[in-house]
Amino acid sequence: MSELRETCVLRTLIRVTGILLLCFCSVSQAQRQIRPPNREDLSRGSQPPSSEAIDYDVAGEFNFVRVRFNTYFSGAGFRGGFGGGPWAIDFPDADRNFLRGVSRLTNIRVMSDPIVLDFDDPEIFDYPFLYMLEVGQGGGIMLSAAEIENLRQKSQRQHQFA
C-alpha cells in the first residue's frame, strides 16, 4: 500500500510540475510578443497616428483662438514651449486634437491650423470662441491697458448678440 501511495504522490508531483512548466512557457512566450514601447511614442504631447482623413479646411467654418497672455512670473520654468508661459501648455497638439474631434464628430468644416492671438490684437473680434488655460498660474494674468480695452469691447459686442 505504501508503494501505491508513493506512486500516486509521484504522479501528482509530475502533473503539477508539468502544469507549472506549461504556464511558465506560455507567459514567457506572451511576453516576447509584446513590443516594448518606444520612448518617442510616450513623449508628452505626441499624437497617435491616425488612419482617418481629417476634413481640415483653410477657410473652414469653425475655429477658436488660444489667447496668449503674460503672467507676473512669465517664463520662470513653465512647461509651455511656444514662447513660454502657461498659455502654451500642450500647444499645438491639444488644439489640433480638439479640431480633429470636431471634424470627426460633426459635419462642421474646421480650419486647418490653430490660431494664437493676444488680447490687444484687432483680429480677436473675428472669432467668437476664445480659449485660455492655466490663467491662475505664474502669479496670475497680467493685462496691459490696450488688452483690457479690447477685452471690454469684445465682451460688449458679444453681449449685444447673445
Domain boundaries, the chain: 2-38, 54-161
Instruction: Determine what percent of the chain is predicted with pLDDT higher than 70.
Output: 61
pTM passes above 0.75:
no
Written as nine digits, the cell of 20 is 507549472
Distance CA 68, CA 88 (A): 8
Q: pLDDT of 14-62, one tens digit each?
A: 775 667 555 555 545 554 544 444 434 433 344 445 544 455 566 678 8
Q: pLDDT of 122-143, one tens digit each?
A: 999 988 889 998 888 888 888 9
In a 3-state reduction of DSSP, which class is residue 72? coil
Distance CA 84, CA 139 (A): 14
Distance CA 27, CA 50 (A): 31
Region of 85 please: left (phi>0), alpha (psi -120 to 50) or beta. left
